[in-house]
Amino acid sequence: MECSRQIHLIGYPMDLGAGRKGVDLGPAALRIAGIQNKLEILGYSVTDLGDICIYPRQDLTIFDPRLKYVEEIARAAQILADQVETSLSRGYFPLCLGGDHGVAIGSIAGVSAFCKKNGRTPGVIWIDAHADMNTEYTTPSGNIHGMALAIALGFGDQRLTHLNGYAPKITPGNSALVGIRKLDTLEKETLKRWRLPVYTMTDIDRKGVDFIIRKILKSLRTHVDHIHVSFDVDSVDPQVAPGVGTPVPGGLTYREIHLLMETIAECGCMSSMDVAEVNPILDMGNTSAELASDIVASSMGMRIL
């Protein structure tokens, strides 16, 4: 399934999955950075569907410190899943603007539901400094944005894993993680146990980002016919993108992330996308949102020449 020329922007101003406030302002920052205009310049027809309504943390109670705000996160994720599925059913490309990386819980659920009803197989490219493979039994913080990929794979609390009534949404063999450089101890064991395709920054240093993303795309295209890209801006080095939810030194360079996205665009096989964890409170003059919007544009076909 190739990228549609019609895009739905879906704002998901969620910070309940994170330990630090500010990422709820990410969708607004991306809009201010001109993400819609940058895509329209590339020839896309873009419709902004606005933001999903999410209750603020001051109106909520934490009932389980291992799963902070799980009820509201599950409610909002189901709304996002329904909206993503509807967009795909209407022939649109859903571009979900986070918020914390918990956005992927709902977006991948929506992609999976669409694929399930249309005889397609979904795959996910997870671009992130973190694997987000914790569950309520392994999490050191209780922050659900650190569980998002595990939830999509069917691991964790059923209120999150069983959106739309089933799990998993994707399988380990139909996913790939890129840019990983910060893992919790028990996450490492989970990744090894389930043999997830993980490409760390060490792998990128040794083999190069072009080799790795081409390998991922070649592999996925033999298994899947809908590729969802979930892009956490903290995959980029904080010297380039300081305004992110959980910055980790040693990330992708400016040119590496653009090359990675340009290669995905050349493939013509991406059908939906998240951009997550822009935090304007930690940013300098909205530079990280500007960068993120340019990176998304690269994934949709923007070129130097």
DSSP of the chain: -PPPSEEEEEEE---TTSSSTTGGGHHHHHHHTTHHHHHHHTT-EEEEEEE-----GGG---S-TTSTTHHHHHHHHHHHHHHHHHHHHTT-EEEEEESSTTHHHHHHHHHHHHHHHTT--EEEEEESSB-----TTT-SS--GGGGHHHHHTT-S-HHHHTGGG-S-SS-GGGEEEEEE-B--HHHHHHHHHHT--EEEHHHHHHH-HHHHHHHHHHHHHTT-SEEEEEEEGGGB-TTT---BSS--SS-B-HHHHHHHHHHHHHHT-EEEEEEE-B-GGG-STTHHHHHHHHHHHHHTT----
Task: Show the low-confidence residues of the chain (pLDDT under 50).
Answer: none
Report whether 134 contacts 146 (CB < 8 A): yes
Q: Name the residue with tokens 């944005």.
A: 145
Instruction: Check if 162 is active-site.
Output: no
Instruction: Check if 228 is active-site.
Output: no
Instruction: Check if 223 is active-site.
Output: no
What contacts 82, CB < 8 A, 6 or more positions away?
110
pLDDT of residue 20: 86
Q: Which residue in the list 51, 187, 234, 274 is annotated as catalytic?
A: 234
pLDDT of residue 305: 61
Instruction: Check if 232 is active-site.
Output: yes
Cross-strand pairs, 93: 7
Q: Which residue in the list 51, 72, 130, 228 is annotated as catalytic?
A: 130
Residue 115, in any domain of the structure: yes
Instruction: Check if 24 is active-site.
Output: no
Q: Which residue in the list 15, 24, 128, 136 is annotated as catalytic?
A: 128
Residue 59, in any domain of the structure: yes
What whole-number distance in Å separates Cα of residue 194 and Cα of residue 173?
A: 9
Q: Domain containing 205 — which CATH number?
A: 3.40.800.10
Residue 1, in any domain of the structure: no
Q: Which residue in the list 8, 100, 145, 290 is annotated as catalytic?
A: 145
Residue 71, in any domain of the structure: yes
Residue 275, in any domain of the structure: yes
What whole-number distance in Å separates Cα of residue 305 and Cα of residue 9?
A: 26
pLDDT of residue 304: 80
Which one, of 98, 96, 101, lies nearest residue 86 by Cα?
96
Which range of residues forms the domain containing residue 238? 6-299
Q: Average pLDDT over the chain, rounded to whole?
A: 96
Instruction: Check if 101 is active-site.
Output: yes
pLDDT of residue 69: 98
Q: Which residue in the list 8, 101, 226, 228 is annotated as catalytic?
A: 101
Q: Which residue in the list 24, 232, 274, 283 is annotated as catalytic?
A: 232
Instruction: Check if 277 is active-site.
Output: yes
What whole-number distance in Å separates Cα of residue 145 and Cα of residue 132?
A: 7
pLDDT of residue 4: 77
Residue 304, in any domain of the structure: no
The total number of structural domains in the chain stands at 1
Instruction: Check if 226 is active-site.
Output: no
Q: Which residue in the list 51, 72, 100, 132 is annotated as catalytic?
A: 132
Residue 198, in any domain of the structure: yes
Residue 208, in any domain of the structure: yes
